[in-house]
Amino acid sequence: MRKSRAVFLSAGGDPFIATLVMRLWKERWYDEIDKFYVCYNNHADVPLDVAQEFIALAMTDPKVQIIYHPEGVGNGTPITEMALIAKEDLVLLLEDDGFIFDSGEVNVAFKLIEEGAADAVGSPRGSCGQEVTDAMIKKYNIDISGLGDKGVNYWPNFFFCKREDLLKTDLNMASKHFPKGEYFKELDHTFTEDNYGDTFVWADIQMRYNGVRFGEVPQYHASPEEIDYHEAKQDKWVDGLNIGWIHGGSLSSGLSGYLSGSLPDVSTESAKLEIETRCAFWQIAIDTTEGYSIFKSVYEKGLADLILGANLSPDRVHKKYNIYRNLLQL
């Protein structure tokens, strides 16, 4: 039986990428959820009039509810706040660089929970210390073998679960320190060295301890080597593989840094390719989002200055732009 469903969108202030996420929802999978919560925390420090324009545009839809913070509140707090105000049974955690562009994908993932195949569905990642990883593997018999981003925890993006299972944790969805010498019953482990877990790691651990059964879906994370993969039909471009979402990856680093004059470390070719992938998504967001007329010129200048200042390849950025825009069907 279909349960009530909500989206929890954590947005860090960039109005273009968040607006694109919401545009795709409205155009492609609007009826697959009942409520769309947005925690808009202005980590990017965009001008007040820009933040107000984003909120006003978002609130024109009756399914949307906004939590606004004039300053950044981290990555975990938004999930906690939305979990506390929501009423729906099931939730989808979504970041502002998580682009769902095909209808049906969200419905399929939620149905896995509704039909009892799993209690939560997400994409594995490894974003915690080695001692945390080893303790989780030992206690919960987790298999992290295989190719790609395999790990003991899950991305807080394209993550589907029961809201009640979030509420059964201590509601700390942020990064976590595991101090040397401290025992954690959730891991049945006393740490021999200080360890850390990224956003949502601690929540993952508590959910496992509480008996939550996890299923898996691919994250389809954008890649620095996307041009090569696309041409060779590898990774997410294998013939016959039809993906319905893509994780742009670290796009919130734009207005809070690289699009505001701070240049990234591009001392290696891999680092350049990574930033070029982000540039492609930032340009797509600019080109496919209406409004923000004055601020859009500031954003475009920041992007142009980044490409020039970091000596990136405009040709590669353009190729990735075409690859991703075609994928998003925009």
Q: What would the two tokens of residue 181 be?
A: 């010498």
pLDDT digits (tens, 9 = 90+) for 235-258: 999 999 999 999 999 998 788 789
> Residue 150 has what pLDDT?
86
Tally of domains within the chain: 2
Q: What is the pLDDT of residues 107-152, one digit of tens each?
A: 999 999 999 999 999 999 999 999 999 999 999 999 998 767 789 9
Helix (H, G, I), strand (E, B) or coil at 89: coil
- 50 and 79 housed in the same domain: yes
**Section 308-314 average pLDDT:** 97
Res 274 pLDDT > 90? yes
Contact 16, 292 (CB under 8 A): yes
Mean pLDDT value across residues 34-63: 96
User: 22: pLDDT confidence band, cut at 50, 70 and 90?
Assistant: very high
For residue 317, give its domain range: 226-328
Q: Does residue 304 sit in the same domain as residue 158?
A: no
Distance in angstroms (rounded) separating the CA atoms of residues 330 and 326: 6
Q: Percentage of the chain surpassing pLDDT 70?
A: 100
Torsion of CA 245, 250, 255, 260, to 10 degrees: -140
| Same domain as 113, residue 56 | yes
In angstroms, the CA 17 to CA 44 distance is 12
User: Domain holding 183: CATH number?
Assistant: 3.90.550.10
In angstroms, what CA-CA distances link 40 with 11, 184, 272?
5, 33, 29
Report the pLDDT value the prediction gives residue 76, as an integer from 0 to 100: 96
